[in-house]
Structure 1
């Protein structure tokens, strides 16, 4: 059975690994990325696996452009799965000076506003058909904000809440919505993040776990288990205690 899968951020570690997971004969992959050279390498690898690939190199941080691109794609392609994976991270800096407003603004445009724009563009067709799936890539940082990455944590909490709300709304209509909350996955973005990185996974392992979770329609796809449990407890504990704990664990400016 042929499928159409769109993955944003396909030039990143998780996005590229997901592209490989879904690359097979009978699958049309629409792959987005901002690095044209890397995007073509990912596309070539997926074509070698038998997939029909459409590479798209645009800046999703330009939300108006992102929305128009998504509307154009929705008009031409009947999407079975949308994976909203593209994102960025910033931090308060090694000296704790804080995040620049311009960087925070760009982060929320890409991590939150562009995600909503994509979903808004593809959702009407999925609802008309009574089927389709949307995977929103959040983070375990969405459970409790880390002092070193306040804007990133807030953006991933927003994506988590948005996805959970969509699932409750759209589930009865046959549209599946899943929130993916990874821990630390080997990548340049992960390496640049300050603080410890316990239970580090490879992108390939993360992609396999995400694909299986989506196939089983898990509401939340969280990994790795020890870190998932720990961050969940941070959200459940009194906030004052959780703040002290994350600083004790090494997440401070």
Structure 2
């Protein structure tokens, strides 16, 4: 699987769509946390369709176990796609305390994965490519009532910028996309009345996971120069009175 793509959240909506599309040209690892069954089924579906895919358990909250899992891969991936992220807890600012720890753990997992990939493979190989799904909710003016999610998605952008600045001279490349509302199970975190208004503002529909995945694959095939953070723009993205979120 030389030159392949490892996808976190590969058993989810955006990550799964990315695995399906990318596997037409690239070998993929369908990374999963709790979704083992979905990841295995997706890898089998891709393989049956003629692609190359393997499920991979990613213990992102356990750096030692994560390194063991990655070190066991027969070939290192050339790229990582960070698609796994917990849904926001939609509540006033004063009630966001518990969610801060959950969202911060997701950020720490992303750091562990990138740092491990760099140490195990990319430093010797002369670099790698990190792609990440951010959120329009954390772009100014930030969304209300999900402070923990907004803060940690913004922190992920800053973390990737820091990685590019520090590791870019040795070959690290970064591409990010910050979509608005996407038709995924994460929408279950929101009040249906908010979603109804937002859909109306979006012309009756939100972005599909496939649309976001297609943009990521385009960036995968045309990476930015080393040391830079490439913002992937989605032509179908729309504005609404309520801030949109991935």
TM-score (norm 2): 0.79
Structure 2 match to 1:238: none
1:118 is the counterpart of 2:113? yes
Structure 2 match to 1:86: 84
How large is the Cα RMSD of the aligned pairs?
2.7
- CA-to-partner distance for each residue in 1:52-75, whole Å, 9 max, x for gaps? 333134553xx2x25532453145
- CA-to-partner distance for each residue in 1:112-138, whole Å, 9 max, x for gaps? 111101111001221221132111221
Alignment of 1:75-224 (within 5 A): 76=73, 77-93=75-91, 96=92, 98-99=94-95, 101-110=97-106, 112-124=107-119, 125-144=121-140, 145-194=142-191, 195=194, 196=198, 198-199=201-202, 200-218=206-224, 219-224=230-235
Structure 2 match to 1:233: none
- CA-to-partner distance for each residue in 1:4-37, whole Å, 9 max, x for gaps? 2110101111000001012147624243241222
- Unaligned 5+ residue runs, structure 1? 231-245
- Unaligned 5+ residue runs, structure 2? 225-229
**2: CA distance, partners of 1:97 / 1:25:** 44
Runs of 4+ that moved beyond 6 A = none
* Kept after mapping to 2: 8 A contact 1:20/1:46: yes
TM-score (norm 1): 0.77
- CA-to-partner distance for each residue in 1:102-158, whole Å, 9 max, x for gaps? 333112202x11110111100122122113211122112221321121111111101
Task: Call closer, same or farther: CA 1:250–1:79 in 2, change over 3 Å.
Answer: closer
More helix per residue: 1
Size of the aligned set, in residue pairs, is: 226
If asked which structure has higher relative contact order (CA below 8 Å, sep 6+), I would say: 2
Task: Call closer, same or farther: CA 1:146–1:26 in 2, change over 3 Å.
Answer: closer
Task: Call closer, same or farther: CA 1:179–1:26 in 2, change over 3 Å.
Answer: closer
**2: CA distance, partners of 1:69 / 1:130:** 22
Task: Call closer, same or farther: CA 1:78–1:26 in 2, change over 3 Å.
Answer: same
**1: CA distance, partners of 2:173 / 2:122:** 10
* Kept after mapping to 2: 8 A contact 1:104/1:151: yes
**1: CA distance, partners of 2:129 / 2:95:** 34
